[in-house]
Structure 1
Amino acid sequence: MQTSSRRELLRAMFLGSAAVGLYACGSSSSSPNRGSGDSPNPDNPNPDTPNPDIPNPPAPAATQLPLQPGPLSQIGPLVESDVDSILIPEGFSVRRVARSGIPASLGFTPWHQAPDGGAVFMADDGGWAYVSNSESTPGGVGALRFNASGEVTDHYRILRNTRRNCAGGATPWQTWLSCEEVGDGLVYECDPFGDADSAVAHPALGIFNHEAAAVDMPTRSVYLTEDSGSGRLYRFTAIGNAPAINGREGLNLDAGLLEVLEIEGFENGGYQDDLSTARKLHKVSWVPVQSPDRPQAEVRDELNATGSAPGTVFKGGEGIWMQYFPEGERPNVEGSPNPLRAVVFFTCKGDNRVYALDVDNDLIEVVFDNDQLIGNDMPINDVDNLVVSPAGDVIVAEDGDAMRLLLVIPNQPSKILLQVPGGSSELTGPAFTADGSRLYFSSQRGPVFFGIPGLGLTYELTIPEAYRS
C-alpha cells in the first residue's frame, strides 16, 4: 500500500514539473486592445510597448473547444453492400476477414470468441497487424497479420488466460494495452508481433473494471476509463522509462502516480446531470486515488460510507482515444494559455455521452449526446468503443439493435458511417491503418438466429482517398 507521505511526495514532484511546463508553454503578454478613440495611458506613454506592471485584461473564456470535423463528415447516404447486407457509403467497400471459431489463416488456431477492442500496428515490411481483445472468460488477445497487399498471412495469440478483455489502447512505443473488465481487473501489455508468453501485467495502472486506455507521451500520462455506473476517469503519470520493445523506448508502467479527474463544481462523486451545463467547458483537476493497490470499487464503497470518494462520476466509461494537432496547426483556446495540442475523447454508455478533454489546459466538455439526433433520428443505444482517424474523424461504435458506427461531428448532429443488420450484438474494435485507407471492426456476436447469438465477425472497410485528408 502506498503511504500518504509517499503519495504527497509524488504529487509534489508532478505538480512541480507541471508548473515548469506551463511556464514554458504559456503565451507571452500582448498589448491591450485599444480603439482609435482611446486616450493615452499616462503610465504607459508608448501604447505599442506593454507595461509589465499593468495586467492585460484576460481573453474571454471559450465555451467550447475549437474542434473541427474530418473529411468523413462529407459522406453521403448509405447503400447496401454485397457482404452480409452491411450498409456503407457509396464508393466504399467492405470484406469479412475473420470469423470466431474458424482459423483466419493457415494453421489451427481459431479466431477468438467475442472480439472487442482493437488497434492496428504497422510493420517494417509494409504490412500490419490488427489486434483484437476477447471479451469472454477465458479472454486474451488475438492478432491478424496482413502483408503489404492487405492479405491475411497469419493469425496468432498475444495474450491468453485472462478474463473479459474488453478494450484497451495502443502505445506510442507500439505495444497493446489490453484491459480486463472485471472488478479486480488489470491492464496487460502485449507485443502485437510477439507471442502470449511475452505479455506483462501492470497493477500500477489500477485495479478496477477496466475498459480502455490512451497514452500521451509528452506528459508521460496514461488515461483510463472505468466501466461502472459510479466510474471515474483515471490518469497514471509514469516515473522513468521501460526497456525498449521492437526498438522503441516506452514508459515505465510499474511506477507512478494514479489519479482521478474532478470537474470543478462536481467533485467527490458529483455528476453533471444537466446537459446544457455539461456541454460547456469546465476546468478540471486531478486527485490521487486512495489505496491504488486495491480494487477501486471496494475503496469507493468504504470512503462513501464515511464521507465521499474523490472524483467526478462518469457513468459506464467505454472507449478512449487521443487526437493530436501537429505543431503549426494548433488552434488557440480562448482564455487559456496553451494552444490545442492533444484532446482525449472518451465515451460513457450510461448516459450516451462523448467527452473531450483538453490535456494541456485542463478543460472538459460533452461534444456529443443523445439529444443530437443522427441521420434517421434513431436515438443512440449504448456508445462503446471509440477511435480517431488519422485525418481527425471521431468514430464511435454502438451496441444493441441499431449496430452502427457513428461519425461524431463535435457539437453538431452526427452521421452514420456504416450499419450492420441483425442487431442484439455490439460493434467493436474500430481501428484505422496509418494511412487511413482501411478501418477494421467486429460484430461481437454476429447475427442472431431464433434468439441465439451467432459467431463474432471481423470486417475491413476500405475508404476512398477523397475521405482520408
Structure 2
Amino acid sequence: MERRSFLASGAAGAAGLLAATTFDSAATAATPPRNPVDGDTGGYGPLRPVAAANDGVEYFALPAGFSYVVFGRTGTPMVSDPSLRNPSSHDGMAAFDGPGRTVRLTRNHEDRNAPGQGTVGGPAQTRYDPLSGGGVSVLDYDPRTRTVVRDHIGVNGTHINCAGGIAWRHQGWLTCEETIVGPEAGYGRKHGYVFLVPAGARNTVPAEPFTRMGRFSHEAVATDQRTGVVYLTEDAGSGRGSGFYRFLPRDPARLDRGGRLQILAIDKRPQTDLRENQTERRWLPVTWRDIDDPDPDPVVEAELPGATSVFAQGWAAGGAKFNRLEGIWAAERSFFIASTSGGDAKNGDVNADGYAEGYGQIWEYTPVGDRIRLVFESPGGSVLDSPDNLTVSPRGNLLICEDDAGSADGDEHPLAPGLTDVNRLIGLTREGRTFEFLVNRFSTSELAGACFSPDGQTLFMNVYGDASEGSGFTAAITGPWRRGVL
C-alpha cells in the first residue's frame, strides 16, 4: 500500500503528533486476514505470544522484551474487602499518583444491568440510584511488586459507566454514563450524567451528577488543564447523530457550580455531516452553539429540530454530526478524538437508517485558532478497525484500543488462532505510520482504558470481558519503551 504523509506539523503530547497517514483507494477493498500493518513495528519488532508473568497464560501477543501481569478479574474477590467482587465490563481508565509509591487506577464498569441488578457493590448509602449497579473501582497498584495492594469502589449506583477523563488539575476521574434511561425504564433516578471520583479518596464517595454538563449518551471527557474547559464526546449509537461538546465551567475546580454546555459546529457550514466524505489534513474553522436545556426531561432522541435531546437541540442550532464519538485524550495543545465507525472505507454493516459504517476516524481539535481536522481515516480493518479508547504516549504518539463490533467482515489474525473480529492496540506514529503493538489472543473482547503511569514506565489497559468470572481484567505492561516510538 502506498502512503503519503499529510500532516506537516501539529501539536500533541510532549513532542507533538506531527503526522498521520492516508492510503490509496486500492486499500479499501474487502479486509483480508489481519497481518502486521505494512511491516511497520514502531521500532519494537514483530509480535509473538507472551505469557503473563503471574499466571503463565498467553493472553496477548507483544514485542520481544515486554512483560505483563493481570489482575482485577471480573467476579474475583477484591483485595481490601473480599466480600466485594471485582465488577464486570472493564472500560475507560486513568492512572494517577497513588498513596506511597503506588499508581492509582480509576476503572469504569460499563455494567448494563437491569433495574435492581448489577455487579458494582459498595455501601448502599452512597449509591446514586439504588436500582442501578454500575460505577467505578479504584485500585492502588505497586509497580515494584506488580500487585494491587489496596482497592475500593469509587462511586456506585450509576449506570453504563463507559469512559471518562481526568479532571482539572488532576483532582480526580470524571466518569461518564453512556445512557439516558430513567424512571420510565424502571430505574430509580435519571441517568446520562458525569460524576467525579476524587483522586485522593480512600473510600466510596456519594455519586453526585453534574447535570449542567448534559444528559446524553456520554462516552469520554478531556479537560484543558490551562483553562479548565471540559470537552465531551457522545456515542448515541451507529447511524445516529453524535455531537462533540465543550463545557465552560463557572469554576473549573467546582463543576457542581454549573456552567455552559455547547456543541461544536463548522463555521459558516451549519449541520455539517462529518461521518464520511471528509478531506484529511484540512483544518475546518469551528464555532460553538449553546445547548439551551442540557438536562432535558423527557428525552426525545429524534434528530429533528424542536426535539428535546441534547444532540437534537445542538443540530437544530447548526451543530456538526459525527458517528459514534468515543475516546478523547488531551495532548499538550490539542485533543485527539476517535469516531468508531466513521469513514469512507466501509466495514459491511449498514444501520437501520441506511448509514454504512466505516472502519473509523481519528480527529484532532485545537483550541488555538479554534479548529478541527481529520488526521487519520482507516482504509480497512487490517490497518485499524473500530477505534475506541485512545491515549497519547509519553513520546507524543497515539495508542488506540480497538472495539471491533462489526458483523460483516469476520476478520482473523494469525496470532489469535480460532478467533474472529480480533482486537488490538494500534500505534499511530508522528511519521504517519500505523503499527500493531498488542493482539488480544485470549478472547474477542474489546480492549479499553489504555493509559500510562505518571512516570511513563507502565502501560495499563483493560480486557472488557462480560459478566462471567475471569472474562475481563486489567493488565500492566512494562518493557523497553524507548526502543520504539511510544
Work out whether the TM-score is over 0.5: yes
Aligned to 1:430: 450
Aligned to 2:184: none
| CA distance in structure 2 between the aligned counterparts of 1:437 and 1:185, rounded to whole angstroms | 35
What per-residue deviation string (whole Å, max 9, x for no partner) do you get for residues 366-387 of structure 1?
112112x6xxx71533211111
| CA distance in structure 2 between the aligned counterparts of 1:124 and 1:143, rounded to whole angstroms | 12
| CA distance in structure 1 between the aligned counterparts of 2:268 and 2:280, rounded to whole angstroms | 11
Q: Which of 382, 387, 391 is the matching residue for 1:387?
A: 391
| CA distance in structure 1 between the aligned counterparts of 2:143 and 2:386, rounded to whole angstroms | 35
| CA distance in structure 2 between the aligned counterparts of 1:410 and 1:265, rounded to whole angstroms | 31
| CA distance in structure 1 between the aligned counterparts of 2:170 and 2:451, rounded to whole angstroms | 17
| CA distance in structure 2 between the aligned counterparts of 1:387 and 1:74, rounded to whole angstroms | 19
Post-superposition offset of 1:64? 6.1
| CA distance in structure 2 between the aligned counterparts of 1:211 and 1:240, rounded to whole angstroms | 23
Aligned to 2:178: 181
Find the residue that maps to 1:201 and give its secondary structure: coil
| CA distance in structure 2 between the aligned counterparts of 1:453 and 1:301, rounded to whole angstroms | 39
Q: How does 1:234-313 map to 2 (within 5 A)?
A: 234-241=245-252, 250-264=253-267, 266-271=269-274, 273-275=276-278, 277-294=279-296, 298=300, 301-303=303-305, 308-313=316-321
Contact 1:208 1:296 in 2 (8 A): no
- Evaluate the alpha carbon distance shift between residue 147 and residue 288 of structure 1 in structure 2; reply closer, same or farther with a 3 A threshold: same
- Evaluate the alpha carbon distance shift between residue 269 and residue 427 of structure 1 in structure 2; reply closer, same or farther with a 3 A threshold: same
| CA distance in structure 1 between the aligned counterparts of 2:72 and 2:243, rounded to whole angstroms | 34
* Residue-pair matches, total: 373
Q: How does 1:295-374 map to 2 (within 5 A)?
A: 298=300, 301-303=303-305, 308-324=316-332, 342-351=333-342, 352-371=360-379
Aligned to 1:12: none
Q: Which of 186, 198, 214 is the matching residue for 2:222?
A: 214
| CA distance in structure 2 between the aligned counterparts of 1:153 and 1:278, rounded to whole angstroms | 46
Contact 1:290 1:299 in 2 (8 A): no
Post-superposition offset of 1:200? 2.6
| CA distance in structure 1 between the aligned counterparts of 2:481 and 2:49, rounded to whole angstroms | 21
Q: How does 1:42-61 map to 2 (within 5 A)?
A: none
Task: Between 142-151 and 355-364, report the one with greater CA deviation.
Answer: 142-151
| CA distance in structure 2 between the aligned counterparts of 1:461 and 1:295, rounded to whole angstroms | 44
| CA distance in structure 1 between the aligned counterparts of 2:298 and 2:376, rounded to whole angstroms | 28
- Evaluate the alpha carbon distance shift between residue 464 and residue 159 of structure 1 in structure 2; reply closer, same or farther with a 3 A threshold: same
| CA distance in structure 2 between the aligned counterparts of 1:258 and 1:391, rounded to whole angstroms | 32
Q: How does 1:80-95 map to 2 (within 5 A)?
A: 80-83=49-52, 84-85=57-58, 86-95=60-69
- Evaluate the alpha carbon distance shift between residue 274 and residue 411 of structure 1 in structure 2; reply closer, same or farther with a 3 A threshold: farther
What per-residue deviation string (whole Å, max 9, x for no partner) do you get for residues 36-66 of structure 1?
xxxxxxxxxxxxxxxxxxxxxxxxxx98636
Find the residue that maps to 2:70 and give its secondary structure: strand
TM-score, reference length from structure 1: 0.73
Find the residue that maps to 1:196 and give its secondary structure: coil
What per-residue deviation string (whole Å, max 9, x for no partner) do you get for residues 14-47 of structure 1?
xxxxxxxxxxxxxxxxxxxxxxxxxxxxxxxxxx
1:239 maps to amino acid: R
Post-superposition offset of 1:193? 3.8
Contact 1:210 1:225 in 2 (8 A): yes
Find the residue that maps to 1:466 and give its secondary structure: helix
Counting aligned pairs with the same residue, the percent is: 28
Find the residue that maps to 1:204 and give its secondary structure: helix
- Evaluate the alpha carbon distance shift between residue 436 and residue 273 of structure 1 in structure 2; reply closer, same or farther with a 3 A threshold: same
1:123 maps to amino acid: G
| CA distance in structure 1 between the aligned counterparts of 2:450 and 2:223, rounded to whole angstroms | 17
Find the residue that maps to 1:396 and give its secondary structure: strand
| CA distance in structure 1 between the aligned counterparts of 2:216 and 2:376, rounded to whole angstroms | 26
| CA distance in structure 1 between the aligned counterparts of 2:299 and 2:431, rounded to whole angstroms | 32
What per-residue deviation string (whole Å, max 9, x for no partner) do you get for residues 90-112 of structure 1?
11111112210002425312111
Q: Which of 97, 110, 117 is the matching residue for 2:92?
A: 117
| CA distance in structure 1 between the aligned counterparts of 2:208 and 2:397, rounded to whole angstroms | 32
What per-residue deviation string (whole Å, max 9, x for no partner) do you get for residues 159-187 of structure 1?
11111000000122321100001024000
Aligned to 1:161: 157
Q: Which of 416, 428, 453 is the matching residue for 1:408?
A: 428
Residues 1:133 and 2:108 aligned together: yes
What per-residue deviation string (whole Å, max 9, x for no partner) do you get for residues 111-138 of structure 1?
1101100001102522121111110132
RMSD of the TM alignment (CA)? 2.8
| CA distance in structure 1 between the aligned counterparts of 2:65 and 2:218, rounded to whole angstroms | 37
Post-superposition offset of 1:427? 0.4
1:263 maps to amino acid: I
Find the residue that maps to 1:397 and give its secondary structure: strand
TM-score, reference length from structure 2: 0.71
1:257 maps to amino acid: R
Task: Between 153-162 and 452-461, report the one with greater CA deviation.
Answer: 452-461
- Evaluate the alpha carbon distance shift between residue 457 and residue 124 of structure 1 in structure 2; reply closer, same or farther with a 3 A threshold: closer
| CA distance in structure 2 between the aligned counterparts of 1:256 and 1:296, rounded to whole angstroms | 22
From the two aligned structures, give the one with the greater helix fraction.
Answer: 1
Find the residue that maps to 2:300 and give its secondary structure: helix
| CA distance in structure 2 between the aligned counterparts of 1:454 and 1:156, rounded to whole angstroms | 19
Contact 2:384 2:426 in 1 (8 A): no
Find the residue that maps to 2:482 and give its secondary structure: helix
Post-superposition offset of 1:208? 0.3
What per-residue deviation string (whole Å, max 9, x for no partner) do you get for residues 410-437 of structure 1?
5833111111114431101111101111
| CA distance in structure 2 between the aligned counterparts of 1:297 and 1:262, rounded to whole angstroms | 22
